[in-house]
Structure 1
Amino acid sequence: MTLNPADDAFAQSVRDALGGEVLRKPEPRYSEEPRRRFSGQVGLLAAPRRTEEVAALVQLASAASVPVVPYGGGTGLVGGQVMSAGPAPLLISLERMTAIRAVHPTENILIAEAGAVLADVQAAAQSNNRLFPLSLAAEGSCRIGGNLATNAGGVNVLRYGNARDLCLGLEAVLPNGVVWHGLSRLRKDNTGYDLRNLLIGSEGTLGIITAASLKLSPRPAGVGTAMVQVTSPEAAIDLLALARDQLGDGVSTFELIHRQGLQFLSEVLPDVRQPFAISPEWSVLIEVGLFGGLDPQTALETLYAAADTRGLVMDAVIAQSEAQRADLWAVRERIPEANRLIGSVSSHDISVPISDIPEFIRQGPDEIARIGLFRINCFGHLGDGNLHYNVFPPAGRQRSDYDAQRGQIKSAIHDLVDKFGGSVSAEHGVGRLKTDELEIYGDPAKLTAMRAIKSALDPKGIMNPGAVLKS
């Protein structure tokens, strides 16, 4: 199907149907993505206020065969929000659709429009003495529609699951401009195909999410946080098992941190207060949230003592105040910022079966050493097997010096991930960055089914063309 640009004639059709107030001047931010690997084009930018306006825009685009790119907070890391090739698209930003439509505390449900910033959803839950547990580094700017469209993960997946697990229902505009009214508050509904889970993670290629019915949780009565030095990645996994044996689902966060990440913090963000005078080779950030009057600090002390008798740990800092907790979290949360300031040659959002992670970590440097001399920062969500395995130039060199090696590094790491039965996209999505990798490593039957679904729902191919599936 031939697509057409969102040109002046199409813009006039939008004005005729909706008036000019819905249109915006495309600022540079709409054609950029955080890692600057892609630059996009915008033929026309629309910022609707209501679902009916989104539907009207998509109907116009479908009739004119104009490509549509949904835009949330622009924080995606795989280029799903920018379209650099093909006819200039209609970019539909959800930034004006920010309402919290309803909160049902007794049902643990919150209904938010897709443009609501994640931090505002968290705050709305908190004001009702509830917790919306999705937590990301970009939570102050990312939007819930984009979180669902990419099935975002974050630091609390171990206990609460991905964005997919936190959603009961959706309202969405399908590629023909028809609105699916699926804002269910039901936890049991076996009435046919699950369109909700089909749209979640589809990255705007099957429709535009306009609102969501979200699951809330009770707020833990007590929260405890600790940074623990471990003897090895194997010891970290054993510590995780021990923690879950002792505390069950009380363990909400279990983050693996390598010395290189701490050294990067010292190099470019020296204001970050680090808990240990000498950076350990491996450490983990543990957070627990407990109910029933259980004291989280005592629980962490008991966990450390048990781990110490097994030779798993060497030292620990257990937060004694909210300020100390914030300091520990700052270490983990600012590692990505330090990475950006250093400048990675190649970054990898991967997952590996948890028990295979130590062997993957052992083999990774050897694969990279065959290509050249690089620094590796391996960190991430050990509790759910998701690592951020990022490769950097040697000290004193720039990432641009190694652009020629980037593809080779990426292939080496992704081949190793595939060898261990892992995934080359754990929580960031496929976007436009990893469409080749999906073709290489994806299951052929799954890819055939995905193409059939795309063709059935979006026969004109207008929805975010080039994302997820190659055009």
Structure 2
Amino acid sequence: MLSEFLEQLQSWAESHSLLFGNDTAAYCVDQRRRYQGQTLAVARPNSVQQLAQIVQLCAQHRIAMVPQGGNTSLCGAATPDQTGQNIIISFERMNQIIEVDADNNTITVEAGVTLQQVQQAALAANRLFPANWAAAASCQIGGALATNAGGVNVLRYGNMRELTLGLEVVLADGTIWNGLRGLRKDNTGYDLKQLFVGAEGTLGLISRAVLRLYPLPTAHATALVAVDSPADAVTLLRDLQAKVSDRITSFELISRPCLDLLHQHFPSLQSPFAEPPAWCVLLELSDGGNSEHLFEQLASILFETGFADTYVAQNQRQATDFWRLREHIPEAQRLEGVSIKHDISIPVGDIPEFLTTCQSNIMLQYPDANIVAFGHLGDGNLHYNLFLSDKTALIYQQEAAINAIVYQLVAHFNGSISAEHGIGQLKKSTLSQYRSSTELLLMNSIKQTLDPLGLMNPGKVLI
């Protein structure tokens, strides 16, 4: 009985740990305000034991659970459906940094700790936690793990999957699996943690994690380079890799429409280019040692490559200004209006052909399209977004047709329709078109084994 469940839930709750009615409104809508649902309540545990008690209670009464971190999902992965027969489990009170182990280069945190807090705790120990993206101040580690988030430093350090050594997870029946091991080598059977990274809370709820830290780089060199084409950008990347190897921390591709949107909506952000180029690359090197030496090395390499319109940051303030251009692109798009967004990955060498062909295919059917392409060229991840003349939600009427153009070409290049944002609600119906029947069978088998009642974040990832 639902009334019995709510009565037991209330008896569990401490003050301020359970929300009902209007107090749940902010939790029921995603940050893009595209998905809005309803919930019985928002439960906010402050320990893994409390989390396990909630899950046990939900399993007993067959109540679906929607896990939510910082609510920064771009695919509706943390938003409930319209039935109102679920509860949201918020991790905002599970926000403790458990341990920083500088000798082992690890940090152990609860799922509700923000990415920014992890970065700051690492810095205080003279270490680096390299994951970084625009929502660092609000996104939580549990959500970052659940979506296998990426960001600007994946080229050197990898996604959240590569940054994770151990997990603690509450399973669908409330059992706590403790895999909090900070080991680089552990060959004792299946690597269970990998099941939960990227699963978007559909297999279990991540409660704590052991994450990798790295020595803190002491030298940085940042540059903005105008290029004529994405092919030139790929050539530059290969030249740099041949000369400086993994010291390339970030390598971002930015198109002219991005710069135009920045100029329109953030005129105070000054670009160093006298005339906005068709394409440009924002890149950063990092290492130990002296920044002046790295600066001179980067400047010399860029001079040798022959790219004339090049700006190497003279100091940290100028480097920060360059990065502010990149970081404000998503907000400039939001201010411009509603767009169709794609978070795709393609083999790096195929990106130039993809961009040329995809633009041609789109313009044939949508001659009014303004394509805003940018992203992490170094690891093959593009954010391929477009506006039509009507910049309202009416554009979603064209979404399926536009997605078909983009995703069919992505599939042609053996790419992925989701690089770092996940599947959520947005792409679950599309997933079956671009993963094989064998892959989907295996996914559903794992889901059935770990969540036989289908209570863990239903309606996400799998149909």
User: Does the alignment pair 1:339 with 2:337?
Assistant: no
CA deviation map 1:49-68 (0-9, x unaligned): 11000000000000000000
The answer to whether the 8 A contact 2:237-2:251 is kept is yes
Supply the distance in 2 between the matched residues of 1:401 and 1:13 (Cα, whole angstroms). Answer: 44
One-letter amino acid of the structure 1 residue matched with residue 424 of structure 2: G
Equivalent position to 2:456, from 437, 456, 463:
463
Q: Which residue of 2 aligns with 1:200?
A: 197
Q: 1:378 is matched with which residue: 367, 373, 376?
A: 373
Structure 1 position 304 matched with structure 2 position 299: no
Q: How many residues align?
A: 459
Tell me which moved more, 211-220 or 39-48: 39-48
**Counterpart residue type for residue 181 of structure 1:** N
Match of 1:135, SS state, is coil
Distance 1:21 1:316 in 2: 54
Residue 11 (1) aligns with residue 6 (2): yes
> What is the distance in 2 between the residues matched to 1:335 and 1:87?
35
403, 414, 429: which one aligns with 2:407: 414
The question of 1:185 aligning with 2:182 is answered yes
Kindly report the root-mean-square deviation, in angstroms, between the aligned alpha carbons of the 2 structures. 1.4
> Alpha-carbon deviation of 1:8?
4.3
Distance 1:139 1:42 in 2: 27
Q: Where in structure 2 are there 5+ consecutive unaligned residues?
A: none
1:450 corresponds, among 443, 453, 462, to 443
Verify: 1:91 aligned to 2:88, yes or no: yes
Aligned-residue offset at 1:292: 4.0
Match of 2:433 among 440, 454, 460: 440
> 1:219-234 alignment to 2 at 5 Å?
219-234=216-231
Matched with 2:57 is 60
Instruction: Output the CA distance in 2 between the equivalents of 1:345 and 1:330.
Output: 22
TM-superposed deviation, 1:404: 2.4
Distance 1:383 1:19 in 2: 48
For residues 137-216 of structure 1, the aligned pairs below 5 Å read 137-216=134-213
* Number of the residue aligned with 1:425: 418
* Superimposed CA distance per residue, residues 310-366 of structure 1 (whole angstroms, 9 cap, x where no aligned partner): xxx231111111110110000000001101111243100001111110000001112
1:444 Cα offset (Å): 1.3
Does 2:235 correspond to 1:238?
A: yes
What does the per-residue CA deviation read over 1:79-98, in whole Å, with 9 as the maximum and x for residues that have no partner?
Answer: 10012244521111000111
Structure 2 CA distance, aligned partners of 1:130 and 1:16?
Answer: 43
1:327 aligns to 2:309 (yes or no): no
**Partners in 2 of 1:261 and 1:430 — Cα distance?**
25
Which residue identity lines up with residue 180 of structure 1 in the other structure?
W
Q: What are the superposed Cα offsets for residues 29-71 of structure 1, whole Å, 9 maximum, x if unpaired?
A: 2111122221122211011111000000000000000000000
Q: TM-score, normalised by structure 2?
A: 0.97
386, 407, 411: which is aligned to 1:391? 386
1:448–1:401 CA distance, 2 compared to 1 (3 A): closer
Change (3 A) 1:469 1:86: farther
**2:276 maps to which of 273, 276, 279:** 279
